[in-house]
Amino acid sequence: MLYEISEKAIQLVNEGKKMIKFNMGDPDQPTPNEIVEAALEAMKQGKTKYASSVGEKGLREELASIHNVSAGNVMITAGSKWAIFSLMFLLLKKGGNVIIPTPHWTSYELIAKSFGAEMRFLRTDIDSGWKIDVEKLGNLIDQKTRLIVLNNPNNPTSKVIDEKVLEEIVQIANNKGVTILSDEVYSDISFVKTKSILDFDDKHVLVKSFSKTFAMTGWRIGYIIVEKELVEKMMKLNQITLTNVPVFIQIAALKALELRKEIVDKIREDYRRRADLACKILSKTKMKFSRPDAPFYVFPKYDNLDSESFALNLLDDGVAIAPGTTFGDYREYFRIALTVPDEEIELGLKKICEALP
């Protein structure tokens, strides 16, 4: 449904209609100039050749020192999506099941299902503050469980998993010998402290990205921190597929890390302001919502809403949103991405309120 909405939005824009794009998690800010310059300079210096399928040494070492692991555990990937795809490809090709708390980013399900894995969803909802019920999660695990996928902070709720809950999940996973894949692509720009899975146990797998943290979605660079044996296997997968993430992009990513403090502070502040603005407007409506712990999303609920038809009709008013059904069984919810300027947040939310049944 989200793809249908995105396509229709593009079509309407091509026909000359103005559209407030709340539907995509793609930052409106440009990639910081220093990062762009670093890529250009690297290209001029001829860093335009085939290269290592596991990633450049300098970038892996820098990431290893940030995460306090060895460089041999770090693999550079074409966006975090490729990291998730590769890991699932390796762990799920012989079948098994995957446990995912919902609401969840659609791609986990689509990727896992493409390998024939069985999905086991664990519902969370707004009334319990999106809390994961650890006991229920434990009950979903069996001999065939290959992965528990955590998204911390979460897309679409922007909730950070409570530290104690995370610790309990890690304990259960360790007791039952199941690997956790922790997707933390929003953690560096989170408004609240977000514990990484690696703070608990380095047996588990961390996936991160430059996309959101540095407004680099189109560059396609992310990374995974995982045991060496899997790095080797993922490298082999890269050798027969993508070969490598372009070296000039890896050099630009290294520059991003060098400047991360100032870039991240600025990006985080932009989103904090936008989140405050959206919450202020939403709190005057009948919609239920939880204050985001992180960029970019707010996931409001409106009782008895059919968010699919609502989202389709809203396109005619010039606003694109993602219906809640994109993220699981959440028909009364919809997701707005605060990846548009403040004026558009105000106008878009006003139009949404006017259009609600």
List contacts with ligand PMP (CB under 6 A): 25, 79-81, 105, 151, 155, 183, 185, 209, 211, 217, 222
Question: Is the preceding peptide bond at 103 cis, omega within 30 degrees of 0?
Answer: yes
Structure tokens, 77: 């990937």
Nearest distance in Å: CB 211, ligand PMP: 3
Structure tokens, 163: 């530290």
The DSSP code for 146 is E
Q: Which is nearer to ligand PMP, 24 or 126 (CB)?
A: 24
Q: Which is nearer to ligand PMP, 91 or 111 (CB)?
A: 111
H or E segment to which residue 313 belongs: helix 307-314
CA distance 266 to 138: 39
Other C-beta atoms within 10 Å of 352: how many? 25
Cα dist. 135→104, 165, 207, 277, 285 in Å? 19, 10, 25, 36, 35
H or E segment to which residue 208 belongs: strand 205-209
Are the C-beta atoms of 54 and 75 separated by less than 8 Å?
Answer: yes
Burial status of residue 283 (CB atoms within 10 A of its CB: 0-12, 13-18, 19 or more): exposed
Q: Which residue is nearest to ligand PMP (CB)?
A: 79
Nearest distance in Å: CB 46, ligand PMP: 27
CA distance 274 to 281: 11
Q: Which is nearer to ligand PMP, 191 or 281 (CB)?
A: 191
Nearest distance in Å: CB 101, ligand PMP: 12
CA distance 182 to 207: 6
Structure tokens, 302: 């409106």
Cα dist. 85→26, 110, 179, 244, 262 in Å? 20, 10, 15, 15, 31
Nearest distance in Å: CB 154, ligand PMP: 8
Q: Which is nearer to ligand PMP, 186 or 289 (CB)?
A: 186
Structure tokens, 115: 């390998």
Nearest distance in Å: CB 274, ligand PMP: 17
Q: Which is nearer to ligand PMP, 246 or 281 (CB)?
A: 246
Nearest distance in Å: CB 150, ligand PMP: 10
Nearest distance in Å: CB 63, ligand PMP: 14
